[in-house]
Amino acid sequence: MLAIRLVNPMDGPLGEEPGFRGYALRLLQATRPPLLSAAILGLLVTLWHLPLVLFQGLSLIGLPTTFAITSLYVWLFNRTGGSVLLSLVFHNSQGTFTVGSFGFTGADAGRAELIYFVMVLLAVLATVLLDRGAWRKAPRSATAVGRFSLRMRPM
């Protein structure tokens, strides 16, 4: 399953990582610190996953988990010098080993997802507190995209 998810363009990681980390994060970090960029991107990624909740592909607790884990993706992306490949592998492994893949159902699944959310939140807090330097300024290689304006330019 891990290998299939890694190369399947219709699945999340291969479709999301080049856009979210490879493009959007680079643009955000060109003018903002990594922590603020992670929060903005976390909101965008959470909204992107909202249809999965509506069509029962993701539980409601999956939305705050998605928001929180985006910070870990940002931290990994920046600490690897802007490697979309490593964030893709991390996203792939995180998405492959879900609560459902361990056989939890019903109330047990809800408790397991809540525990997973708490663990992700603790991991985010640990990276923010223990690696404060990573959140002050993005490495130059992770912000290679220049500034651009959305305003219409005269022809």
How many domains are contained in the chain? 1
Query: Is residue 155 domain-resident?
Result: no
pLDDT digits (tens, 9 = 90+) for 77-119: 999 999 898 888 888 887 766 666 666 677 777 888 888 899 9
Residue spans of alpha helices (H) in 10-83: 12-19, 26-31, 34-54, 62-79
pLDDT digits (tens, 9 = 90+) for 41-72: 999 999 998 988 888 778 888 899 999 999 99
Query: Is residue 151 domain-resident?
Result: no
Q: Which of 74, 86, 15 is nearest to 41 (CA)?
A: 74
pLDDT digits (tens, 9 = 90+) for 25-37: 999 999 999 999 9
> How would residue 152 be classed by pLDDT, with cut points 50, 70 and 90?
low
Of residues 99 and 123, more confidence is placed in: 123
Query: Is residue 34 domain-resident?
Result: yes
Query: Is residue 135 domain-resident?
Result: yes
- Output the pLDDT for position 13: 79
Query: Is residue 75 domain-resident?
Result: yes
Query: Is residue 38 domain-resident?
Result: yes
Whether the per-residue pLDDT at 143 is higher than 70: the answer is no
Whether the per-residue pLDDT at 142 is higher than 70: the answer is no
- Output the pLDDT for position 96: 67
Whether the per-residue pLDDT at 144 is higher than 60: the answer is no
Query: Is residue 95 domain-resident?
Result: yes
Close Cβ partners of 32 (under 8 Å, ≥ 6 residues apart): 40
Query: Is residue 76 domain-resident?
Result: yes
Strand, helix or coil at 14? helix
Rounded to two decimals, the pTM is 0.81
CA distance 4 to 15: 13
Range of the domain at 63: 10-143
